[in-house]
Amino acid sequence: MALPKSERLMNLLIMLLVQRHYAPKHRIREVLYPETSDEAFERMFDRDKEELRSLGVPIEVGQMDAYFDDEPGYRISAEQLQLPEIELTADEAAVIGLATRVWQHQALAEATSGAVRKLGALGVDVDTSALDTVVQPRLSADEPAFGVIWEAITQRRAVVFDYRRSGSAEVTTRHLQPWGVGRYAGRWYVTGLDTDRGEERVFRLSRIQGEARAVGRPGVYTVPPDTDVSALVRRLAPEPVREEAVLLVRRGAGHSLRRSADRTEKGVAGPDGTATWDRVHLTRTSQGLDDEVLAHGVDVVVEAPADLRARVVRRLEAYVGESG
């Protein structure tokens, strides 16, 4: 049975990216287009190549042997596919974080490893390190419940989770038919039908306590037509509170933070004892600023407020614990 187009394109991208040498057309057909006629293979392969190229993927064509005019081969250069160094705002980084999370989702991870295993079984010399070019997250900025919520949305399954409201120590169990996730004021929210109350609700993912669980069968509900998840999140989520933050930023780093600074003190002593740091004062919503601080790694240190510093330290400790 023919693979879905999206899976076929991904497999073609992976196969050409992990090749150490040009992949001959007959091998590509054997791995990715089995049981197709000559005409169907040529048509599908040409269309898939052009679609990848239209997405900015540089597919190279070359001879398998420089001394013989043999069958052309194909590959993707990891160096050419790699993005140049860029700086992102907090919201832009959040979108990249979402894409990273989707790539790391179990279903896609299995598809990737399956494609690589198939190539290895056929004797193809693969370089799996080339996959780091596609996405190599340095520090996860998503919420622990994100994966379960995202999968439940795609499967139309209900979810159950314990939730703590802002300003309250009480934890309650909530039942939700999730419609979608959205980002507002630097935080991820899920919106949907709260089946306990019979009304649409929005929940901040960082306030979910413990693990969220998908329950029941897939496809048990439908999302109301014309649902605008972003508009719902903006309407139902609480208004963000703006506050002043004081950061130590290493010289030559943190340009996105510097651009929005209220004022900057140059050449102050940093945590390493050198005067190669600047003290940056800026006014932001507290939500999401920890994401931006974490994105700069060791080049940014929080001086104030204490709550922001505690959030950054807590997430770094959690990251170190997961990595260890």
Sequence spans of domains, the chain: 5-133, 146-236, 242-323
Model confidence at 160, pLDDT cuts 50, 70, 90, reads very high
Mean pLDDT, range 218-243, rounded to an integer: 80
Cα separation, 108 vs 151, whole angstroms: 12
Alpha helices by DSSP H, the chain? 5-18, 25-32, 38-54, 78-81, 90-104, 106-121, 146-155, 229-236, 255-259, 289-295, 306-323
Question: Which range has the worst mean pLDDT, 123-127, 179-183, 293-297?
Answer: 123-127
What pLDDT is stored for residue 179 in this prediction? Answer: 92
| Cα 92 to Cα 15, 82, 101, 292, distances in angstroms | 29, 18, 14, 10
Q: Is it the case that residue 201 has pLDDT exceeding 50?
A: yes
Residue type, 155: Q
Question: Which range has the worst mean pLDDT, 31-35, 102-106, 174-178, 266-270?
Answer: 102-106
Write out the DSSP string of 204-245.
Answer: EGGGEEEEEEEES-TT---PPTT--HHHHHHHHSPPPPEEEE
Percent of the chain with pLDDT over 90: 20
Cα separation, 204 vs 318, whole angstroms: 19
More confident residue, 236 or 103: 236
Whether the full predicted model's pTM is greater than 0.85, yes or no, is no
What CATH number does domain 146-236 carry, 2.30.30.520, 3.40.50.2000, 2.70.150.10, 1.10.10.10? 2.30.30.520
More confident residue, 163 or 107: 163
